[in-house]
Amino acid sequence: MSLLLFLIQVVVISLSGVMAPGPVTAAAIAMGARRRYAGTLIALGHAIIEFPLMVLITLGMAGIIESTKTRIAIGLAGGVLLLIMAIQMMISIKTTDNSQNQPRKDKPVLTGLILSASNPYFLLWWATVGLALATKAGELGIWAFALFAVVHWLCDCIWLQALSWASFKGTKLLGVKSQQIVLVICSVVLFFFGLFFIYNAAVSVLSLGVSPTICFRLY
């Protein structure tokens, strides 16, 4: 396979993953309502986890990520973090009316880092689909691997920035009320994913190591 065809494959597979709704998507929309470049900043936080992970899985870490115990631990921790973030987002809605006069307290880079590290399905995607792509990139050479990493991340960055930009423009045009509606919806989504992560982790514990039935990448 030529490098160009491989990179096209990377773009198609990466977009199919990043465009799937998930916690990072909800965060990009919610923070984008207040900060137009939130998507890019979230993608930077995401990259702090993702770039080292690309290297680690090619060095043999994929087996650790795939282990049921690891996914249970990450699922429980991630679920609790998502519930906390959802509650904090709901509380922040009360300050939306006078947010123009207040310093921004949201931290999109940190949010991207935390949501990526605490998402067991993101890690599982890299231990399976991502590993196959990274392995192929490695076979094509070090520069191919570097291009693979950058192209994949750019797919993340462009999509998340598009979401945050659309959210920012929409709430600016429609006013504070629409911003509050966006934040309510996104906080509910984060709360749902928090419960979802905890539920799947609990199912794995109760079934004595049987993997959760839903194992796709949730961005």
Instruction: Round to whole Å and give the CA distance between 89 and 18.
Output: 23
List the one residue out of 23, 52, 54, 47 whose CA is nearest residue 113. Answer: 47
Does a structural domain hold residue 217?
Answer: no
Domain count, the chain: 1
- Return d(Cα 3, Cα 185) in angstroms, integer: 41
- For every residue of 95-108, which 3-state class applies, written as one string? HHHHHHHCCCCCCH
Distance CA 173, CA 201 (A): 41
For residues 34-73, one letter each, b for 16 or more C-beta atoms within 10 angstroms of the residue's C-beta and e for the rest, the string is: bbbebbbbbbbbbbebbeebbeebbeebbeebbebebbbe
Query: Per the domain annotation, does 215 fall within a domain?
Result: no
CA distance 26 to 121: 16
pLDDT of residue 131: 84
Of the candidates 19, 62, 72, 27, the one whose C-alpha atom is nearest the C-alpha of residue 45 is 27
pLDDT at residue 164, rounded to an integer: 92
- List the structure tokens of 53: 């992970």
75: left (phi over 0), alpha (psi -120 to 50) or beta: alpha
Question: What pLDDT sits at residue 101?
Answer: 45
CA atoms within 13 A on the CB side of 218: 21
**What are 196's two structure tokens?**
């979802």
Whether residue 152 contacts residue 137, with contact meaning beta carbons closer than 8 Å, is answered with no
> Is 216 part of a structural domain of the chain?
no
Is residue 218 in a domain? no
**Residue 191 placed within a domain:** yes
Is residue 211 in a domain? no
In a 3-state reduction of DSSP, which class is residue 215? coil
For residue 157, tell me if it sits in a domain: yes
The list of the chain residues with pLDDT below 70 reads 1, 62, 65-66, 93-105, 173-176, 208-219
- Put simply, whether the predicted model's pTM sits higher than 0.85 gets the answer no
Full residue range of the structural domain in which residue 82 is found = 3-206
Q: Is residue 25 part of a domain?
A: yes
**Which two three-digit tokens encode residue 25?**
């998507």
Residue-level pLDDT at 97: 52
Do the beta carbons of residue 36 and residue 168 sit within 8 Å? yes
Contact partners, residue 22, CB within 8 Å, separation at least 6: 119, 121, 122, 193, 217, 218, 219
